[in-house]
Structure 1
Amino acid sequence: MDLATIGGLVAGIFFILSSILMKGQISSFTDAASVMITIGGAFAATLISYPLSDFIKSIKAASLVFKSKQLNEGDIIKKIIELSNIARKEGLLALEEAAESIDDEFMKKGILLIVDGTDPELVRNILETELVFIEGRHKNVQSFWEKVGEFGPAWGMIGTLIGLIAMLKTMNDPSTIGGNMSVALITTLYGSLLANFIALPFANKMKVISESEILLKEVSIEGLLSIQAGENPRVIEEKLKAFLAPSLRNEISKNQDGEEGEING
């Protein structure tokens, strides 16, 4: 589980509920009609904007913001260095057996293309084309949640207008004014919460996850092509470390030196 997402949601709910309790009762801020107008309306409008299959996929993709990243750039570089050592000692064909233990389908596909003797330029074109379509799918999901964030406040305003119309219709009965005004204001609140506490943060988190995944795949492409070119593992390591922040570069160097020390010892 991603602790940042969980922590943010828990903290947000805590602060919202605490502020409500300081000003009154929670029941004063709950209204079924407001939920239907704001939440239902925002997702209904988003459904109109996207094909049903994309709508369902994007809803399911919300689970990604709760998952912690399994691999980082350092792990990928270490794996590529390991593969380069295998290729250097046993040849490129030995990579086919090594590929069986790799869970990353993108990297596995690149390895098998290399083992099959595919031209390096063609390997790059195939992997980069797949990368473009992966990025496109990611952006489609991000835009879905951005659209929900856009529609949320708009439907909150629609709910506000409905509440004001109902209030004006019954101005001769003062007892109904408070309830109708409450619905009018609560819908605006719900629309803002949907946009700024759920939809837009989800979209941004997905963007961060996507950028990280794309970077990992770019590292994989460069590493695999370097292995195919027969470059020295140390040269490959230095080339791929250009993708990393300085702190991660130093960490990889220390780990590599430690492993070499154990082997030599």
Structure 2
Amino acid sequence: MDRASVTGIIFGIGALMVGQVLEGGSLGSLVQPAAFAIVFVGTVGAVLLQTEMPTFMRAMRMARWVFQPPPSQRTKLAGDIAKWSLHARRDGLLSLEQFMLASKDAFIQKGLRLVIDGIAPDKVRSLLETDLSAYEFRERQGARVWEAGAGYAPTIGILGAVLGLIHVMENLGDPSKLGSGIAVAFVATVYGVGLANLLFFPMANKLKTIIADNVAQYEVLTDVFHDIAGGDHSRVIEERVVCLLARAD
């Protein structure tokens, strides 16, 4: 569990609640199901309109990374790279097949397969960079779903405010209904701005950071496979490992 994310959520929501109490307001006045339905469901609808369903579902699955990020693989990868380099130098490239079969990572499997097949080093790099670009684009599209939600939520909140004011105008002759209409109007704006700036934007940015870290690891692996395919000195590969471990947890 990522404690920073949990703490951030508590601080963000807590600040709103404490501020409401300090201003002399009631916490109950912030609970408006109608306003929440307008803002949240409306935002989801807007995001779905601009997003393909597979991308939307990927974004939903990625949301768990905010609170439970994928464990760092840098130290394990560094050990694996050392093994690949040793076996390739000592037993030849065909000895890497055992590692290819044991790996569950499609990118690593492809890289090792290209090296084993004797593909030219530059071609290995080119093919892996193409795969890496596709991976980065696909993952960033998922993060952009949350970014899009952050863009739409405040505007949908304004729509909720306008609907609330319309309700107020329709019931000017009935003072008992004025309070609820005004509450929906203002709380809808709070929900829209709050969801955007306390949830959606931070989630999108954190996902982008995680994706960038994963891409950086694959970039190092691309260089490693290029070096192994070219028969480079083990010292060169060791330098790749140093780069990989530079940001290890």
Contact 1:170 1:177 in 2 (8 A): yes
- Letter in structure 1 aligned against 2:220: V
- Letter in structure 1 aligned against 2:140: K
Partner of 1:216: 217
Show CA shifts across 1:54-74 (max 9, x none).
Answer: 222322221222222323545
Mapping 1:81-230, distance limit 5 Å: 81-230=82-231
Partner of 2:52: 51
Partner of 1:15: 15
CA distance in 2, matches of 1:229, 1:119: 7
Partner of 2:232: 231
Instruction: Work out the percentage of aligned pairs sharing the same amino acid.
Output: 32
CA distance in 2, matches of 1:209, 1:28: 37
Instruction: Report the Cα offset of residue 143 of structure 1.
Output: 1.7
Show CA shifts across 1:175-231 (max 9, x none).
Answer: 322221111000000001111112111110111011001100000010111112222
CA distance in 2, matches of 1:18, 1:66: 24
Instruction: Report the Cα offset of residue 75 of structure 1.
Output: 4.2
CA distance in 2, matches of 1:60, 1:236: 35
Structure 1: runs of 5 or more not aligned:
252-265
Superposition RMSD on alpha carbons, in Å? 2.2
Larger mean CA deviation between 179-188 and 24-33 belongs to: 24-33
Instruction: Report the Cα offset of residue 31 of structure 1.
Output: 0.8
TM-score norm. by structure 1 comes to: 0.85
Contact 2:220 2:240 in 1 (8 A): no
Partner of 2:43: 42
Instruction: Report the Cα offset of residue 101 of structure 1.
Output: 3.5
CA distance in 1, matches of 2:48, 2:69: 28
Contact 2:157 2:192 in 1 (8 A): yes
CA distance in 1, matches of 2:80, 2:2: 24
Instruction: Report the Cα offset of residue 4 of structure 1.
Output: 2.4
Structure 2: runs of 5 or more not aligned:
none
CA distance in 2, matches of 1:236, 1:96: 19
Show CA shifts across 1:1-41 (max 9, x none).
Answer: 33322232233333333333443332111111101111011
